[in-house]
Amino acid sequence: MPSPAPKTALVWLRRDLRLADNPALTHALARCERVVPVYIHAPDEEAPWQAGGAARWWQHHSLTALAADLAAAGSALVVARGESLPTLRRLIQATGAGECHWNRLYEPAGIQRDTAVKQALRADGVHCESHNAAMLFEPWTLKTGAGAPYRVFSPYWRRCVPQLAEVPAPCPPPAHLPPLPSGLDNLPIEDLGLLPRIRWDQGLAGTWQPGTAGAEARLHAFLDTAVRDYTDGRERPAEAGTSGLSPHLHWGELGPRQVLAAVREACGDVTADGAGHFVRELGWREFSMQMLFHFPHTPLQPLDPKFAGFPWRADDGTLLRAWQCGRTGIPIVDAGMRQLWHSGWMHNRVRMVVASFLTKNLRLPWQQGAHWFWDTLVDADLASNTQGWQWAAGSGADAAPYFRIFNPVRQGERFDADGAYVRRWCPELAALPNKLIHQPWGAKPAELAALGIRLGRDYPAPVVDLQTSREEALAAFEQIKQQD
């Protein structure tokens, strides 16, 4: 008499590309004899926020690394392309799976898709469960005393801090996984077309190592060196003072529980000194995700409705292109935009400076900046991108007051005092002395000539006057204040 088929579960992987502390995988292994790890490429289901060019590059290499990790554990990654629900149904029929597990996503399109898939598969008689792999505190678990979602970060984080001790410990990766059933169709990752056809990605490849091994190496290097000086070190863009974990967290190569546990092991108290400031950044990520969950319109519309009528500057594309290409004539801004294009990442202090410059000095819509970041950041995350840009524009939750306009010269002089960051990314200015590196237009023509620098030819003249554009931005804000 033939033996019964092993009880099988599909594990539907999306942005949880790891084996350790993967609740969907852990629960499936606890309930079933065999698991089938599946990745389905269905970018249209994420519209209008399909992954941009830099993120697709990361996704390709992250999937490749995950496939290797699964092979080392005795399994494999089943890769498919097409609509998620019919693909899952086909795989369920091919494998005889009676269960399907996945980890939750929190973007509007993902929630809508996952809800429909769960309802349909349950109607088919399939046991479906979703799990939390991406957050310390899920969006619906923390509310104000009035029962509303938090819209200001500080009280939100004060509520979180006492509960950090209760966050579950991360689960280790399985030492071994059962082999897949034979005969399953499997699409090569290369056939997904995630890599650019014109290979502009050399800078990304030289900067990053996607995958769990790269994530763990970066985490431990940070905890061994920079975390204790994080409070001050994170502000200096020329130094390796930040963790660089954001793309690894976005793609789920590393989970927040793993990061919290590693910080606790390395530093003891996760709320004090540099460790406390770093864990607070995890809190900002959580805050951004709960904001997107509760206010799903905010990737395209301001949270503060009066900003819908803000008088943005008319632009034929000239100013936007200058900003995108790092050719604004403002050194700290141009350095940041060039770092972004080369590496797919930008230092957070500089992100605030370039966002302020776009929305207030150039007075161009924050949505244009958000779309550019979406296409060029390897860590492009809808929640964090939305929250960051609305904060900079003054239109979002916990936003900087609109009249807070970063002076890029002062920001450069304060956080890049010796000009090392600007000199790296704007080498045509390298010969300038420190007193002029952040405002070359302040030099006398003879000084620039002696250094072989001609503004407008070797390096652009500023596209706007900083003081005049500041005054125009404040005047524009006064117009919408009248709507109150």
Which residues, other chains included, contact 344 with Cβ-Cβ below 8 Å and sequence gap of 6+? 54, 57, 58, 203, 204, 207, 208, 247, 376, 377, 378, 379
Choosing from 138, 157, 348, 472, which is the catalytic residue? Answer: 348
Choosing from 208, 323, 366, 425, which is the catalytic residue? Answer: 366
Between helices 366-376 and 318-325, what is the axis angle to 10°? 40
* Burial class (CB within 10 angstroms; exposed 0-12, middle 13-18, buried 19+) of 202: exposed
**Does 341 qualify as catalytic in the annotation?**
no
**Does 138 qualify as catalytic in the annotation?**
no
Choosing from 216, 312, 413, 441, which is the catalytic residue? Answer: 312
The DSSP output letter for 359 is I
**Cβ atoms of 123 and 6 closer than 8 Å:** no
Which residues, other chains included, contact 454 with Cβ-Cβ below 8 Å and sequence gap of 6+? 448
**Does 102 qualify as catalytic in the annotation?**
no
**Does 389 qualify as catalytic in the annotation?**
yes
**Does 366 qualify as catalytic in the annotation?**
yes
**SS3 label, residue 101:** strand
**Does 348 qualify as catalytic in the annotation?**
yes
E strands in 76-211: 78-81, 99-103, 127-131
CA distances from 399 to 7, 200, 275, 282, 391 (A): 51, 35, 25, 18, 4
Choosing from 284, 345, 372, 391, which is the catalytic residue? Answer: 284
Choosing from 57, 102, 389, 425, which is the catalytic residue? Answer: 389
Q: How many residues does this entry show for the chain?
A: 484
* Burial class (CB within 10 angstroms; exposed 0-12, middle 13-18, buried 19+) of 271: middle
Choosing from 129, 138, 281, 447, which is the catalytic residue? Answer: 281
**SS3 label, residue 122:** helix
**3-state DSSP percent of the chain in helix, strand and coil, to 5:** 50, 5, 40
Which are the catalytic amino acids? Answer: 281, 284, 312, 348, 366, 389
